[in-house]
Structure 1
């Protein structure tokens, strides 16, 4: 397991990489700083084309909330900081309508420097009310991906996609968002939404942040729509494990491009 140290110098470099002004390799770095660059560098890079990742925070026993739905403190303080860093490095954050209705997330960057990403809600049947917190104007783009003709407030972008069996095909969602200029995307929740993109083979990286607590019941982190019946057919990603402090994160590379993105790249000095 590798420790990470996201110093001010490291974070300044990552934001410069996102802006296309620097690289993840040059410089005098400690071992923990270099680990931080390895963990977050793939999200900051824009030289490899469109990239979709996901992040899920869960307990030791694989739960993302209690039986009553309390999910506020599943991740520790360092796990939350990790999530906010990921938000700051991507172009847009995607959640399903269940998460938007139940958790009322803001999807903003508050625990590090960086711009708020576009906030994207997948809402096939138009269940999300127009006064939902995630649609409130704070200067970031707001997008609803839906199959119905429901009108949205001024400034909220609507992407219409035809539903298949009541849901929106993940590949069509990614294609439409990439076409809208959002090239690096994070699927943040909930577990059902992440699982659909994972099973569709659309994720390059999956970050699983594990907090040291046992909940004992409640919804599980990931349940695939069509799970493997044998271990021989289970997904076996290439994993790097990092200690965040209060939490541990497994950075799971799911594609050859994800492995390529981990390699340091030279850019502008």
Structure 2
């Protein structure tokens, strides 16, 4: 397991990679700084095309909240900082309406430097109130994916898609958002939303952040609809493990696109800062 150090010069490099004016292969960095470039570099890169990543913060026993729904302190301080870095590196953050209603998230970047991503809520039935914190105007795009003809406030974009049994096909969502100019997307929650994209084969990367606490009961991070009868049928992604300090991250590549993204930049022929 590699411990990461997101020093100011590492973060500046990652933001430059995001802009397409730097690479992750050059420079003199400590092993921990180099590990930080390894975990965030594939997300910052734009030369390989769009990428979809999901992030789950959970306890040692795989819980993302208590029975009452308290999820505020599941991730430690370093795990929260990690989530904000992911937000800063992507073009848009996607959550389901249940997460928006229960957690009242803002989905903004506050624990690191960087621009706020587009905030996207999957709300097939149009349940999200117009004064929800996630729809507060902070200069970033606000997008609602819905299957009803409900008007939204000026400045809030609507991606109108069909729903079946109250659910919108994740592939239609992804195609629609890409058509709106959003390439790199972070599927942040909740567990059902992430699982929907996972089972549809739409995730390039899955990051599971584990904090050292045992909750004992409550909702689980990932619960697939497809039941695995034998371990030979289970997902076995190519995985790297990083120590954040208060949390541990399992960085899982789920397809060839992600495996290529995890390769050193100079092997891909990208030499913006070489």
For normalisation by structure 2, the TM-score amounts to 0.97
What are the within-5 Å matches in structure 2 for residues 36-185 of structure 1?
A: 36-185=36-185
C-alpha separation in 2, matches of 1:152 and 1:24: 41
**Aligned 8 A contact 1:20 1:267 in 2:** no
C-alpha separation in 2, matches of 1:186 and 1:167: 19
C-alpha separation in 2, matches of 1:228 and 1:175: 28
Work out the number of aligned pairs and report it: 269
C-alpha separation in 2, matches of 1:259 and 1:141: 30
C-alpha separation in 2, matches of 1:55 and 1:229: 26
**Aligned 8 A contact 1:23 1:264 in 2:** no
C-alpha separation in 1, matches of 2:227 and 2:56: 18
Deviations 1:66-119 (A, max 9, x none): 011100000000000000000000000000000000000000000000000000
Which SS does the other structure have where 1:252 is aligned? Answer: strand
Quote the RMSD (CA, aligned, Å): 0.7
Paired position in structure 2 for 1:245 = 245
Deviation for aligned residue 1:194: 0.2
Paired position in structure 2 for 1:214 = 214
Q: Which moved more, 1:256-265 or 1:212-221?
A: 256-265
C-alpha separation in 1, matches of 2:136 and 2:5: 34
C-alpha separation in 2, matches of 1:226 and 1:121: 25
Deviations 1:44-83 (A, max 9, x none): 0001111100000000000000011100000000000000
Deviation for aligned residue 1:165: 2.4
Deviation for aligned residue 1:7: 0.6
C-alpha separation in 2, matches of 1:166 and 1:78: 36
Which SS does the other structure have where 2:53 is aligned? Answer: strand
Structure 1 runs (4+) deviating above 2 angstroms are none
Which SS does the other structure have where 1:224 is aligned? Answer: coil
**Aligned 8 A contact 1:57 1:64 in 2:** yes
**Aligned 8 A contact 1:170 1:200 in 2:** yes
C-alpha separation in 2, matches of 1:240 and 1:123: 33
C-alpha separation in 1, matches of 2:39 and 2:30: 14
Deviations 1:193-236 (A, max 9, x none): 00000000000000000000000100001001213222111110
Structure 2 gap ranges (5+) = none
For normalisation by structure 1, the TM-score amounts to 0.99
